[in-house]
């Protein structure tokens, strides 16, 4: 369960940034009073154009950065008050997630399992489960730097899931990946749903959203401009395509 209430984030601007933006303000508002809820066993999609505040929102949810104002709860835990406890419940994956290239998948997974206090037996069991599921046995002892993009993505997925998180955050997880590698991610997101996990993901690709999500929210210029279920989104569409409808909502919000 993720509960976001009145989330607000501003960044201080340097002199150069102020000049570049032609702004007199000392701060830039990245997320402005955003509230939503993601339920277990459901996939929540966060949509928005570039620079809308999706990544900032997801980074706040995954405790990487702290909100200026507002509240985030992960499975009932306030991320500001109990960041480490909240982190144990979160799995985080982006399309551009880097891996320690000088380690082997075995060593990397052990590292993250240890950081997450996963008991040895559970770690071995989960590791074996993912090695079999994603066909990783052949390269488990190879250095990650020697692996293909697809293999690396499998390692990333396993790293995200090794501690069996209740909440999984995906920030544009398929961006820049080929179709086959992206398919692994899609499968993972689906599996998370069947395992009753809470999933939130951001994406640009409307077909992906249509295929996966139960609820969606659209943010533009830091503000929440739409939040409803996917079925309501489809039935209330004023445009012919999902992409067309998404563009219409974003454009209408900028006029308003």
Partner 1 sequence: MKKIIIIAKKEFLDILRDRRTLIRMILIPLLVFPLIMNIVTRIQASQAEKQAEKELTIGYTLNGQSSEMIDRMSEAPHYKFQEYTDTSSLRQDVASKKVNIGIIYSAHFFTDYNLGQQAEYDILYRGADYEDYERFGKLLTTEDSILVDKRMKSLNLAYSYILPTKANEQNLSPLKEIIGKYAGGLLPYIFMAFCFMGCMLPAIDLFAGEKERGTIETLLTAPVNRAQILIGKMIVVTSFGLLSATVALVGLFASLNMFDMNPELKQSINEILSPQLIVTLYLLLIPLALFFAGVMIPISVYSRSFKEAQSILTPLNIVMVLPAMAGFFPGVELDYTTAFIPIVNVVLATKSIIAGNADMVLIGITFFSLILLAGLSVLISLRQFSKESMVLR
Q: CB neighbours of 168 closer than 8 A, spacing ≥ 6?
A: 90, 91, 92, 93, 160, 161, 189, 192, 197, 198, 199, 200
Q: Which two tokens stand for residue 28?
A: 């830039």
Binding mask 147-176 for partner 1 (x = CB under 8 A): ------------x-----------------
Q: Binding string to partner 1 for residues 56 to 75, with x set by CB under 8 A, is what?
A: ---x--xxxxx---------
Kindly tell me which residue out of 112, 150, 206, 214 binds partner 1, with binding defined by CB under 8 A.
112
Q: What is the CA radius of gyration of the chain?
A: 19
Which range, of 111-119, 175-183, 193-201, 220-228, touches partner 1 by CB under 8 A?
111-119
The yes or no reply on residue 8 touching partner 1 (CB under 8 A) is no
Q: Which of 99, 133, 206, 247 binds partner 1 (CB under 8 A)?
A: 99
| Cα separation, 154 vs 41, whole angstroms | 23
Q: How many CB atoms lie within 10 A of CB 103?
A: 16
126 binds partner 1 (CB under 8 A): no
Mode of pairing for the β-strands spanning 167-171 and 223-229: unpaired
| 196 φψ region: left (φ > 0), alpha (ψ -120 to 50), beta (else) | left
26 binds partner 1, rule: CB under 8 A: no
Least distance in Å: CB of 117 to partner 1? Answer: 7
Neighbours of 142 (CB within 10 A): 13
CA atoms within 13 A on the CB side of 176: 9
Number of residues that bind partner 1 (CB under 8 A): 33
Instruction: For residue 25, state whether it binds partner 1 (rule: CB under 8 A).
Output: no
Nearer to partner 1, 101 or 125 (CB): 101
Beta-carbon contacts of residue 41 (< 8 Å; ≥ 6 apart): 193, 196, 197, 198
Residue with tokens 């961006």: 175
Is residue 81 involved in binding partner 1 (CB under 8 A)? no
> What DSSP string runs through 127-146?
HHHHHHHTT-GGGTTS-GGG
Specify the residue, 100 or 223, whose C-beta has the smaller distance to partner 1. 100
Single out the segment in contact with partner 1 by CB under 8 A; choices: 30-38, 69-77, 112-120, 124-132. 112-120
79 binds partner 1 (CB under 8 A): no
Least spacing, CB of residue 84 vs partner 1, in Å: 4
Which listed range, 41-49, 113-121, 223-231, 246-254, lies at the site for partner 1 (CB under 8 A)? Answer: 113-121
Stretch that binds partner 1, among 105-113, 133-141, 180-188, 242-250 (CB under 8 A): 105-113
Between strands 2-12 and 223-229, the pairing is: unpaired
> Under the rule (CB under 8 A), what is the footprint of partner 1?
11-12, 59, 62-66, 83-85, 87-88, 90, 92, 94, 96-103, 107, 111-112, 114-117, 143, 159
């Amino acid at each position: 369960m993720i509960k976001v209430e009145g989330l607000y984030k501003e960044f201080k601007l340097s002199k150069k940034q102020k000049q570049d933006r032609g702004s007199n303000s000392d701060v830039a508002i990245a997320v402005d009073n955003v509230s939503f809820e993601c339920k277990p066993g459901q996939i929540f999609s966060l949509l928005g154009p570039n620079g809308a505040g999706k990544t900032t929102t997801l980074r706040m949810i995954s405790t990487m950065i702290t909100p200026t104002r507002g509240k985030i709860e992960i499975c009932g835990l306030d991320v500001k008050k109990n960041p480490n406890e909240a982190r144990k419940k979160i799995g985080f994956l982006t399309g551009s997630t880097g891996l320690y290239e000088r380690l082997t998948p075995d060593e990397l997974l052990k590292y993250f399992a240890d950081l997450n206090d996963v008991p040895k037996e559970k770690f071995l069991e989960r590791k074996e489960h993912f090695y079999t599921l994603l066909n990783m046995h052949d390269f488990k002892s190879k250095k990650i730097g020697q692996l293909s993009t697809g293999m690396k993505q499998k390692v990333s997925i396993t790293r995200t899931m090794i501690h069996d998180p209740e909440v999984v955050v995906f920030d544009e997880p398929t961006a820049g990946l080929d179709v086959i590698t992206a398919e692994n991610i899609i499968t993972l997101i689906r599996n998370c749903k069947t395992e009753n996990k809470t999933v939130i993901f951001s994406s640009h690709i409307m077909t992906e959203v249509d295929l996966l999500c139960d609820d969606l929210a659209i943010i533009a210029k830091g503000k929440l401009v739409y939040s409803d279920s996917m079925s309501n989104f489809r039935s209330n569409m004023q445009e012919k395509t999902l992409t067309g409808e998404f563009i219409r909502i974003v454009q209408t919000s900028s006029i308003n």
